[in-house]
Amino acid sequence: MTEIPIAKPILDLNDRLAAANRALLDSHGVFMLDLIASPGAGKTTTILATIAALRDTYSVAVIEGDIASDVDARKIKEQGIPAVQINTGGICHLEARMISQALDALDLDSLDLIIVENVGNLVCPTDFYLGEDCKIVILSVPEGHDKPLKYPGVFQVAQAIILSKIDTMPVFDFDERQFRSDIEHINPHALIFPISATKDHGVKTWVRWLSEQIEQKRRMKAKTAHETE
């Protein structure tokens, strides 16, 4: 196992940088979520639906992580939303140092929510803390209900799981009961939000929960500001 002695110092350094990111976000009362999924699970579509539902109430920015291309960042910018593109140049996950640079490029004073779209990968982003308030995993119905069993790590660290493309249930052999039972076993505290972003099903419930998290973060900042006055 040649990887172990190498990975440890990288992760230690990553955690220190992530803690600095988190402190910076806390001081500005900005909620940040790290969105993890396989390629094509519907990350960008979910982000666009979330922005559409929240933009009248909150100020949102997106950090786009990609191996290559700026396809997704352009889609976000077309909506008039600030987007920072990170091209990892082949690296299979985002790291705290990349997020640190992206935060420098955003006006944190004016923001309430930052959505980080991680590289499409259900494995590697699991171990990298970026300074986010929570990790959210998207699993799409076409991927199959057995994925929590086969990729348990990412489902263990997720605070919530979005089950996307639920409008395609009739086309695929997806056993929702088995999926929920496996999640209950792997991560009993995880929330599950079934949605179809294109058909506008379930988005409201997801956005309501997210709004509560944003409000909580704002209150935390207000409290800290009051105490230090």
Sequence-ordered list of residues with C-beta below 8 angstroms from that of 144, at least 6 positions apart, any chain: 172, 173, 174
Q: Considering the rule CB under 8 A, would residue 119 count as an interface residue with its own copies? A: yes
Exactly one of 92, 105, 220, 225 binds its own copies (CB under 8 A); which one?
A: 92
Do 46 and 200 form a contact (C-beta atoms < 8 A)?
no
Question: What count of other Cβ atoms lies within 10 Å of the Cβ of residue 100?
Answer: 16
Stretch that binds its own copies, among 22-30, 37-45, 100-108, 204-212 (CB under 8 A): 37-45
Q: Considering the rule CB under 8 A, would residue 147 count as an interface residue with its own copies? A: yes
Q: Considering the rule CB under 8 A, would residue 20 count as an interface residue with its own copies? A: no
Q: How far is residue 3 CA from its own chain's centroid?
A: 27
Question: Is 22 or 145 the residue whose CB approaches its own copies more closely?
Answer: 145
Do 200 and 49 form a contact (C-beta atoms < 8 A)?
yes
Question: Is 121 or 159 the residue whose CB approaches its own copies more closely?
Answer: 121
Q: Considering the rule CB under 8 A, would residue 78 count as an interface residue with its own copies? A: no
Question: Is 71 or 222 the residue whose CB approaches its own copies more closely?
Answer: 71
Question: Is 17 or 190 the residue whose CB approaches its own copies more closely?
Answer: 17
In the complex, least distance from residue 229 CB atom to its own copies, rounded to whole angstroms = 41
Sequence-ordered list of residues with C-beta below 8 angstroms from that of 200, at least 6 positions apart, any chain: 49
Q: Considering the rule CB under 8 A, would residue 23 count as an interface residue with its own copies? A: no
Reported for 47-53, long-range contacts at CB under 8 A and 24+ positions apart, including other chains, are 47/76, 47/115, 47/117, 48/75, 48/76, 48/79, 48/197, 49/195, 49/197, 49/200, 49/203, 50/115, 50/203, 50/206, 50/207, 50/210, 51/76, 51/79, 51/81, 51/115, 52/79, 53/203, 53/204, 53/207
Q: Per-residue x/- marks for its own copies, 51-70, CB under 8 A? A: ---------------xxxx-
Exactly one of 108, 144, 191, 218 binds its own copies (CB under 8 A); which one?
A: 144
Task: Tell me the C-alpha distance between 202 and 204, whole Å.
Answer: 5
Q: Considering the rule CB under 8 A, would residue 179 count as an interface residue with its own copies? A: no
Q: Considering the rule CB under 8 A, would residue 152 count as an interface residue with its own copies? A: yes
Q: Considering the rule CB under 8 A, would residue 101 count as an interface residue with its own copies? A: no
Q: Considering the rule CB under 8 A, would residue 10 count as an interface residue with its own copies? A: yes
Question: What count of other Cβ atoms lies within 10 Å of the Cβ of residue 106?
Answer: 18
The residues that touch its own copies, with contacts defined as CB under 8 A, are 2-3, 6, 10, 13, 38-40, 66-69, 71-72, 90-92, 119-124, 140, 142-144, 146-147, 149-153, 165, 168, 171
